[in-house]
Structure 1
Amino acid sequence: MDVDLRLVRYFLVMAEELHFTAAARRLYVSQPALSNQIRRLESQLGTQLFERSPRGVTLTAAGDAFLPHAQGALAAIRSGVAEAMAAAGRDQVLRIDVLQTDLATPRAVLARLREQLPSLRLEVSSRGSRDQEQRLLSGDLDLGLCGSTAHLPDGLMQRLIRREALGVALPKGHPLAAADAVAVRELADELHYLPRDDFAPEWNDFILGCCRTAGFTPRRHPASTDGTSSALELVRAGECVAIGLLSTPYPDGVVVRPLAAGVPPYSWSLRWRESTHAPTAALAALRNFEGS
């Protein structure tokens, strides 16, 4: 039986989202078109892959059984295309998500790859670590850069590449702005900015852990964004403070002070899918990155 690979990709995105509207948005197709294509695949396979009900969409037993094979097939095709391009002497493509391109470590990672692998064409995205996991597992992404986590999904590999010191961003007129260093416990009464939990959960867990170690749970500012620039505008306006990396570019009107001794550094890691052809050239180029 021949199965259209495009339909397999539709199935994989639908299996990740379990929501026709969200999946159709990711695939740049209409919801009715996606529904028709899923039904076409189910017709080809002779079985129902998704259970549709007023409570939502779930995979059937057949869908669960088909899922790992579909992931492997699509990843194998992509790996084969990459190797064929390399054998033909054509530039290879590395699809990499770096969480945020305006931070120092992501910028340095991209610069290292461009310097050491000039024939490598980078397709860079910044869609968050949760999205990274889904795309790595589905074969839609080759390499991810985000914070280290102790709870890595099955099928993914992780390698620590850098540790960074932390500071706190304060409005220029804040009483702590004149301090040489700030203890986390001194921030107990402040309103704190944190990104969306589904964008960088490992970062939020790290910051919450630092605060709880200091004896408090931070009060969160109600606004939440994906990038640092808009967050620092809230700090500059005096609405909140934000614990962040000392290497982050800070705008005028925002003062950053290092956190006092005892706060662990933040760890950055590379992630890739274990069961597919690893991006070996990129991983080799990023060895010994800690001191760069």
Structure 2
Amino acid sequence: MDVDLRLVRYFLVMAEELHFTAAARRLYVSQPALSNQIRRLEGLLGVQLFERSPRGVTLTAAGEAFLPHAQRGLAAIRAGVAEALDATGRDQVLRIDVLQTDLVTPRAVLARLRDRLPSLRLEVSSRGSRDQEQRLLNGELDLALCGSSASLPDGLKQRLIGREPLGVALPMDHRLAVAAAVAVQDLAEETHYLPRDDFAPEWNEFILDCYRTAGFAPRRHPASTDGTGSALELVRAGECVALGLLSTPCPPGVVVRPLVAGVPLYTWSLRWRESAQTPTAALTALADIDQ
């Protein structure tokens, strides 16, 4: 019997969470899609793995029996992939731009590459997505991490790797700093920071769309920089607020509050040049970066 490894991974995450919504969030799929895939696995195995009831989700006896074998099997596959990737990556260089190295997802990507491809030498830069496009097309860059875009330049390919919730960075003494969550509409009268339009246009378009959905056009702070550090200094000084990733680390004097439900998640993607030699080892090492 052939069983899709993706189904095994879905089963293991579901067995850890025992909650379809939480497991679907970890796997970056919808709850109905996860439920369908679990039923597909149960159909392939011919057994029921989870007991679903109004009180919650539990493993059945069959699920408990399958669990340790699934864990060992997936661990063995990952170990084999790691050894194969290590052999492939030996004495190779990967030129990667990650937008900003102080954010959670870029740090996770670099940590995964170092962990799974220890012999691969990384050349890391943080020069913005517009610059990434040109360097990928010119062959000066192998892989780029940035926000996803529906209008991908000709010659480039992308793969979605994860999503992150947004928050708003506020001065510690701001009226909304004590709020459990902030509605974008409540920021209509504020001055807003945005990076240079040519640094990460897909980010600015995403954020501006959040403002448009909330019914206003933001008053932009006149200063624009490439990194979060300078932006958060402006926030700390009380000159502006800034929408950003909820996971963004903050300096003293700045707090990040989550946005209320309904605001879209920011989607990260990996990009590479279609006509170049595909960075297969790196892409494989990052296949399950969300885990």
User: What is the TM-score normalised by the length of structure 2?
Assistant: 0.69
Structure 1 residue runs without a partner (length 5+): 1-85
Kept in 1, the 8 Å contact 2:108–2:289? The answer is: no
Equivalent pairs, count: 206
CA displacement at 1:211 relative to structure 2: 0.4
In the alignment, does 2:242 pair up with 1:281?
no
What secondary structure sits across from 1:170 in the alignment? Answer: strand
Q: After TM superposition, which residue ranges in structure 1, 4 or more long, deviate above 4 angstroms?
A: 86-90
In structure 2, the CA distance between the partners of 1:254 and 1:138, relative to structure 1 (3 Å rule), is same
Residue 288 of structure 1, CA deviation = 1.6
**Residues 85-105 of structure 1: per-residue CA shift (max 9 Å, x gap):** x99995100000000111111
Aligned to 1:222: 222
CA 1:100–1:231 in structure 2 vs 1: closer, same or farther (change >3 Å)? Answer: same
| 1:198-239 deviations in Å (ceiling 9; x for gaps) | 001000000000000000011110000001011000000000
Structure 1 CA distance for aligned equivalents of residues 87 and 170 of structure 2: 53
**1:237-277 superposed Cα distances (whole Å, 9 cap, x missing partner):** 00000000011101110011100011010000000001111
Aligned counterparts of 2:266 and 2:225: Cα–Cα separation in 1: 20
CA distance in 1, matches of 2:118, 2:187: 45
Cα distance in 1 for partners of 2:88, 2:144 equals: 27
Matches within 5 A, 1:190-201: 190-201=190-201
| Counterpart position of 2:117 | 117
1:126-275 aligned at under 5 Å gives the runs: 126-275=126-275
* Unmatched segments (≥5 aa) in structure 2: 1-85
Q: TM-score, normalised by structure 1?
A: 0.69
Distance in 2 between the 1:90 and 1:185 partners? 52
Q: Note closer, same or farther for the CA distance 1:102–1:237 as it changes in structure 2 (3 Å cut).
A: same
Deviations 1:179-209 (A, max 9, x none): 1100000000000000000001000000000
Letter in 1 for 2:253: G
CA drift at 1:289: 1.6
CA offsets, 1:85-134, max 9 Å, x none?
A: x9999510000000011111101100000000001000000000000000
CA shift digits 1:136-182 (9 cap, x unpaired):
00100000000000110001000000100010000011101111100
SS at match of 2:132: helix
Give, in whole Å, the separation in 1 of the partners of 2:108 and 2:88: 30
Write the distance in 1 (CA, Å) between the matches of 2:89 and 2:127.
Answer: 31
Residue type of the alignment partner of 1:231? A
Q: State the alpha-carbon separation in 1 of the partners of residues 266 and 230 from structure 2.
A: 22
SS in 2 for 1:256: strand
User: 2: CA distance between counterparts of 1:190 and 1:220?
Assistant: 9
Describe how 1:56-135 pairs up with structure 2 within 5 A. Answer: 91-135=91-135
The CA distance in 2 between the partners of 1:147 and 1:119, in whole Å, is 28
Residue 95 of structure 2 contacts residue 123 of structure 2 at CA under 8 Å; is this kept in 1?
yes
Letter in 2 for 1:232: L
Counterpart residue identity of residue 238, structure 1: G
Identity of matched residues, %: 80
Q: Quote the RMSD (CA, aligned, Å).
A: 1.5
Distance 2:165 2:88 in 1: 44
In structure 2, what residue type is equivalent to 1:172?
A: M
CA deviations over 1:268-291 (Å, ceiling 9, x no partner): 00000011110000000000222x
3-state SS of the aligned residue for 1:119?
Answer: coil
Distance 1:224 1:88, change over 3 A: closer
Indicate how the Cα distance of structure 1 residues 263 and 90 shifts in structure 2: closer, same or farther if over 3 A, else same.
closer
Structure-2 separation of matches of 1:154 and 1:90: 31
